[in-house]
Structure 1
C-alpha cells in the first residue's frame, strides 16, 4: 500500500477549487457583515438616521469591493 504513493502525482484540482471557494466566501461574507454592522450601528446608536447610515454602508461596500477584488495581473 505505501508503495502506491508517489509524491507529486496526485490530482489536487478539487482541493484547490474548494480552498478558493472557501476563501472567496470568507472574504465577501466578511465585507457584507462589516457593511451591515456599520449600517445598523450608525442607524441605532447615533443621530445619523437611516439615510446617513445607509449611505455609510454603501460607501463601505463600494470601497470593500474595490479593495478586495482580484487583480487581473495576478497569475498564481
Structure 2
C-alpha cells in the first residue's frame, strides 16, 4: 500500500519565489515581443514579395510595424 508521509513532501532547496516571478515575467515579455516581431516580419515579407514594396519597402514596413507594436504593447 501507499506510505503515509508525516513531514514535508518537498525535498531539495527551498523555492526562491522572487526569482521565479522574475523568470516568469521575462518569459512573458519574450513571448509577447517575439510574437510581435514574427507578425511584423510576416507582414513585411508579404508586402515585399506580393506587393510592389520590394526589399527596402519591406524593411521600412518591418521597422514601422515593430516600433508601433512595441509602443502599443508597453
Residue of structure 2 aligned with 1:50, choices 18, 36, 55: 55
**Mind listing any 5+ residue stretches in structure 2 that lack a counterpart?**
10-14
Aligned to 1:39: 44
Structural RMSD (CA): 2.0
Counterpart mapping for 1:14-25 below 5 A: 14-25=19-30
TM-score when scaled to structure 1?
0.68
Distance (Å, rounded) in 1 between the aligned partners of 2:23 and 2:54: 41
- Extract structure 1 runs of 4+ deviating beyond 4 A: 1-5
Structure 1: how far apart are the matches of 2:52 and 2:23? 43
Aligned residues: 65
